[in-house]
A and B are shown apart, each in its own frame.
Chain A
């Protein structure tokens, strides 16, 4: 027994020695990163879920864009500082202007009437001398042959990551690479989410897709492989052509001014043909080495470590062509220090480490300990971080201010609404009765309270489908929804409940009871319920309807089934949201455009709303340039919506983010995703703060050990006695 005790003591001593040793070398014991990195110019952030697709033709969600927007360079980007959002060239030399053609192929002047326009041409000239990141797909030997395009099965078997290749190469980005990417958009087995949409506009894209499908099927049969390499170079899209080494032309059917916004998305970034040739080698996919997982771009960063189970690391691309920090911005930017770096060479940081962090809590705690440079605010940490000042304005709490943490808020370009299914016999339809009912519900649903309870006040109530920052949105009294709000004392206030009750009575439901049958009105609310918080939320909705005497039956389901209901149009009331793809009112108003009806046409108009006047106005507004004329039409459209109330305009959520004092050049930009290159760090400050915030507290552990040892003493004594008596 003594022997064992001694062993244990040695073991404990060993552990202590190791701990003490690390304590001497390390700033904080709880530093989750290697000690050597402590004072380097590295940004630390987190991601909560493995991004599904990193291939720019497939990727279409913000968590994926957080990575690939730093790597791929589409022709255009949003200006980092200017508001309202403006496009500026990124890999292009200028923002392209559309030129119009009639059906016979003749050029039309700029102001030509829309009916005459059959095609629009966009000619894009790209910058010269841009180079791809070092990549094995471009590695060549002395004769200029590709080194790794013809690997054997065993060679591929031995690979684990892309960095296992010893040689890399690079080459210039040329116009053909952009065209290659547009071709890839249409390739059926790449499943681009915008293939259908772009097929409607880009001339010959659908036909190209069909051809490729046939060619590919044939190729598969001939090669007897599941995924053979398909060389896209011999095939052409009618409407897309290379003009010269540094420019290419896209021809669209009709007029589509919103097209330039798409050119700012990674869908249109350059992709060399070598990429597909390289990644299509048999066996690569088996090793998880695919283009969908290893991005291949020319931007300021490249993905150097790619372990979705642990961390993703973006490092500076040594071949980056260079870009300067913007020197113009909004008025206020100067004072905020956002122009201090004007003209400096981008990017500032050498590396960005994104760790997998599935849970909010560790994420938040590590942020507070200084191990993440920036963090969102989950609802649970909200009170801790943010308070409302005496004037009702948001600010940080004292502990946060003491730490030098900064707060950034921005109203997102999103819309959360409660929709009525217009195909439903009770709440839907163009009858006066249903309209009054919808208006009454619009008044009764107190979204101000909703925001304060369930969104921590992070949001503003919506007066129309258009969020602030989008053209067509109006503020103040002229932006008020007169069916739901009224002005009093110079403030926007929700109409009193009595008004809603009066509307109910007018609609034939006094006190929520059908005038003819005397039975209370029962409505069905479809929702997805998943978390413990939902119970309270659903109760809240029930209470809102009970205010009008309506019994609300909640049909909770999962998201898949919810969408199916939407598709079939079997729901009655539902809550949904929309995030802007690009900052144009068309992207919101099309959610209520009749021919976009979800039930009949499979579009995004989940309310199945259809109003001939609205549809006509929409078609007109869609292709107009921003200006007073467009504003006027939008005003009329919004007025129609407010009266018909197919939606209860819910709210536009606010995005909150916190960042530490050593994190510079932060400005919310809801459109641009490629903002990592603008960020600057002060690693020395960070290092100092981390050490200060994370002193290891040892006394409880020592106390515990002492207690254990002391409590063992009587046992040992008994043991000794025992022993002696046994011997005797």
Chain B
């Protein structure tokens, strides 16, 4: 097991290097550090000396990928790319182009993101599974039919509509929660209620339909029929057999997204003014702050790989037949 994990971690390194090269290329193929400097320095009274200074301060004064002036290894290492990437692998994100420490900001903004993402996931899971079980219980009745139709309809509505509509109705018309904002500590709950409810409602369509398929697949298996033949009540069959066995795909599906919860939700956060990592990313994109975008991409990749690893491990834990090799 340990050996497997170590191997997987080593396997992640070339992937992360690849991710890094790709993002770097994307940004600098057409953009130059000079452009970035001008963008960040603002518009009034900027001259070349100031730009050079800015670049030097942020380490953009080296050649980008290949340094023809340096000798030997230096031609590779004495470049913007190398210098910036090495630090990333040490999880030292450096400072953003506007001069704040990224690592510090991430550690601060992670919590609001989690404060939304975790409740949405948990409550969503609960609601979806309960609803799907209900449908499975009433399978092949009108409840089943209309529930599936309802699911498809809910899936076909853009998530933006839930957010815009929900905010308009609950905050503006009914005055039930603050329109937007956030607070640290326990005071945050009144800001979180609405985003969480909307997040859950938005996930009902696709989620319930998916779980229903899982349950029905399970219900058609022989052992369920056997159980029923033994005279077990439908409720017992559903809870004790179907749910238990369907938990494997459900759990692994959840595990794979767990690490990505840190990244936050772009739309919800910016709409409700919640200072999480999602809105951090959006701001960085809109301000063209390359340092932040690169760090977030790196972080996202690491978390994704972590998610894959966790999934594999959780497979072995819930199903002893699967062996890692």
Contact = CB atoms under 8 A, between A and B. Distances in A.
A196 interface: yes
Contacts of B99: 52, 290, 292
Contacts of B95: 285
Interface in B160-185: 169, 171-184
B178 A696 contact: no
Given A196-B47, A286-B101, A560-B38, A4 B130 contact: yes
Contacts of A1: 137, 235
Contacts of A628: none
Interface string B9-48: 0000000000000000000000000010011111111110
B100 interface: yes
Contact of A357 (B130, B180, B279): B180
B53 A726 contact: no
Interface residues of B, number: 58
Contacts of A718: 138, 141, 143
B241 interface: no
B178 A188 contact: no
Contacts of B233: 723, 726-727
Given A60-B42, A602-B47, A719-B137, A30 B175 contact: yes
B104 A286 contact: yes
A563 B43 contact: yes
B60 to A, nearest CB: 15
Contacts of A286: 101, 104
Given A188-B53, A718-B138, A727-B233, A288 B101 contact: yes
Given A287-B101, A563-B38, A723-B234, A30 B179 contact: yes
B190 interface: yes
Contacts of B316: none
Interface in B222-262: 233-235
Interface in A38-83: 52, 60-61
Contacts of B182: 310
Nearest to B187: A34
Contact of A715 (B38, B134, B176): B134
B172 A365 contact: yes
Contacts, number: 137
B109 interface: yes
Contacts of B134: 715
A30 B180 contact: no
A61 B42 CA distance: 9
A144 interface: no
Among A28, A362, A366, the most chain B Cβ lie within 10 Å of the Cβ of: A362
B143 A715 contact: yes
Interface in B74-93: none
Contacts of B171: 30, 365
A188 B51 CA distance: 12
A697 B175 contact: yes
B54 A191 contact: yes
30 contacts: A4-B130, A29-B175, A30-B175, A30-B176, A30-B190, A32-B183, A52-B40, A60-B42, A61-B42, A189-B57, A191-B54, A193-B41, A285-B95, A288-B100, A288-B101, A310-B275, A356-B275, A358-B273, A362-B180, A362-B273, A560-B39, A563-B38, A564-B38, A602-B47, A695-B175, A697-B174, A698-B174, A718-B143, A726-B234, A727-B233
Interface of A: 1, 4, 22, 28-32, 34, 52, 60-61, 188-189, 191, 193-194, 196-197, 285-288, 290, 292-293, 307, 309-310, 355-359, 362, 365-366, 369, 371, 559-560, 563-564, 602, 694-698, 700-701, 715, 718-719, 722-723, 726-727
Interface of B: 35, 38-47, 50, 53-54, 57, 95, 98-101, 104-105, 108-109, 130, 134, 137-138, 141, 143, 169, 171-184, 187, 190-191, 233-235, 270-271, 273, 275, 279-280, 283
Q: Which 7 A-B pairs have the closest CB atoms?
A: A309-B275, A32-B178, A362-B180, A697-B174, A32-B181, A362-B179, A694-B175
Given A288-B101, A563-B43, 17 more contacts: A29-B176, A31-B178, A32-B183, A193-B50, A196-B45, A286-B104, A288-B105, A310-B183, A356-B273, A357-B273, A358-B279, A362-B273, A365-B179, A697-B173, A700-B174, A701-B176, A718-B141
